[in-house]
Each structure stands twice: as structure tokens, then as C-alpha cells.
Amino acid sequence: MPENEDLQRFHEHRIAMLESMTGPAIALPTRYPDGYFVPRHSHSRAQLLCASQGVVLVTTDAGRWMIPSDHAMWIPAGVEHSVAILGDVFMRSIYISVDAISGVPNYLHVVGLTDLMRCLIIDATSHDSIPAPESRDGLVIELILRDLHTLPEYPLGLPFPSDPRLQKLCRDFVKKPSSRATIDEWADRMAMSRRSFTRHFQRETGVSLSVWRQQACLFAAVPRLSEGEPVTSVALDLGYDSVSAFTTMFRRMLGVPPKFYQPRLDVAPFERSDKAAFG
């Protein structure tokens, strides 16, 4: 595994390389060690960032987004972002020319990967050169571009307010999330009425405190589940009275139960070890 300084130089070189390359899409794999941090940067291309194993956290001025394994994040062209790696991650990214994008919302969001898209991304990132448009590999890229708009969106973003006082409350909550936090408690700390606070929070973040709080709990839960922690331990630590209450919230927000994000020995991982690469 290359040292972090080597990874940093590699990442800087990759950004420069991407800016000089042509073609509708460029597919690149990278392996990152646990705890690695990619400083703020942007691309002239949009990025479909996919991770296997571990969890990736993407941060922008607008908030944070979490990308568990078997998910991907859509990062529009020109958006400055930093990336934090939780667990050993093998990342597969598709960098797409703005002219080649059709039907994909122009905002940051996390999507689930269909079986077809997962296989296409693995295939596309297993080649070192940019494929010719009419070649077999070029058709793989074309299929990826055609299917991007069909990927289901997941509520794994955590918008942050611009109000400094409210932002502090949100950051404190992220450090120690609890399902038991109430609107009245937050309103009191802001010296606002419940009604005024509710409107203010919605205006600042675009979602209600209840939804935001649940999303923050998901942020805390998914990395722990991905590391194999028992669902019961995670649920109780987050202040849920029972596993069933936690599971109900989890399924309502993500469409799957918590165990979906736990390691499974009977399923081949998104990463193919024989194709793992640095560069």
C-alpha cells in the first residue's frame, strides 16, 4: 500500500491528467487506505464515485454525503468537495463529460447500483486505456451513460445550515447522534419558539428536523454496520428503544433493513481482488 504522501501526489497527478483527457467518459480505479483524506478539489467532468467495502464520506459547502459499498455518488462538474475514507476502500469512478450527460439531476446525490450497473462499472474500470467509441469497451461506457438516469436515489445526504448557531447544533449532533433529541430542545437552545425554529430549520436545510435527525443517525449507523457491529448495539447506542423501532426507521429511509449493510460472506464483493489497482 503506498504511503499517504504518495497517494496525495498520485491524486494531484490524476486531476491534472483528467483535465487533459478527451472522450465522453473516463473510468478509473483507486485503492485508498482507512483514514485517508482527499483535500478539497473539483473536476471539469461530473463524477460517478463508487466504493466497495468500507464507507466514503464526501463533504461540500452544502453538507455531507455518505457512500456505503454498492452505492455511488453523483458529483456534478465543478463542485468542490473533499473525501474521507472509512475502512479500506477500493474506489471505481466514472468521470463524465458534461456534453455526455442526459437526464441526471444536476445536484449532489447518492444512488443505489443495480446489478447491471455494478457489472458495467467493474468492467469499465478494469481497462487501462480509453476505449474507442465503436469498440466493445466503448459500448460498455455507452451503456453506463444511458442507464445513469435510472439509478434510484437514496437519502444519504446531510445538508448543513448556513446559520452559525444552527450549524453548531448540527455539528454537535453529528458527533453524538441520538433519536431522542426533540424539536423543543433545539428551539430552546436557539432561543426561538417551536414554530419559528421549525420554519427556520426547514429554510436552512431544506428538510425537517425529524428527517435531518434520522439522516444523521443513518450516517452514524451505516459505517458501524458495514464493519460488522450487531444491529442491536448500533440501535441502542443511537437512543432507539428497540431494534424494531430502529429497523422501521432504517427501512423507511433506505428501503432495506440494517442487515443489508452488514458484511455478507455468501456474496462476492463489488471489488475484484485480481483487478485491484493503484493508478
pTM over 0.75: yes
> What is the CATH superfamily name and number for domain 159-261?
Homeodomain-like (1.10.10.60)
Strand positions, DSSP E, 8-53: 25-32, 37-41, 46-52
User: Coil, strand or helix: which one is 22?
Assistant: coil
Q: CA-to-CA distance for 181 and 201, rounded, in angstroms? A: 14
| Total residues found in the chain within this entry | 279
Task: Give whole-number Cα distances, 99 to 22, 30, 95, 102, 103, in Å.
Answer: 12, 25, 12, 8, 12
Per-residue pLDDT of the chain (279 residues; tens, 9 = 90+): 455 667 777 777 878 888 888 889 999 998 888 888 999 999 999 999 998 777 899 999 888 898 987 889 999 999 999 999 888 888 999 999 999 988 899 999 999 999 999 999 999 998 766 766 678 888 999 999 999 999 999 888 888 898 999 999 998 998 889 988 899 999 999 999 999 999 999 999 989 999 999 999 998 999 899 889 999 999 999 999 999 999 999 999 888 899 988 876 544 445 433 333 333
Residue type, 17: M
- Report the distance separating Cα 140 and Cα 121, nearest Å: 8
Segments making up each domain of the chain, as ranges: 4-156, 159-261
Q: Do domains 4-156 and 159-261 have the same CATH topology?
A: no
Q: 4-156: what fold?
A: Jelly Rolls (2.60.120)
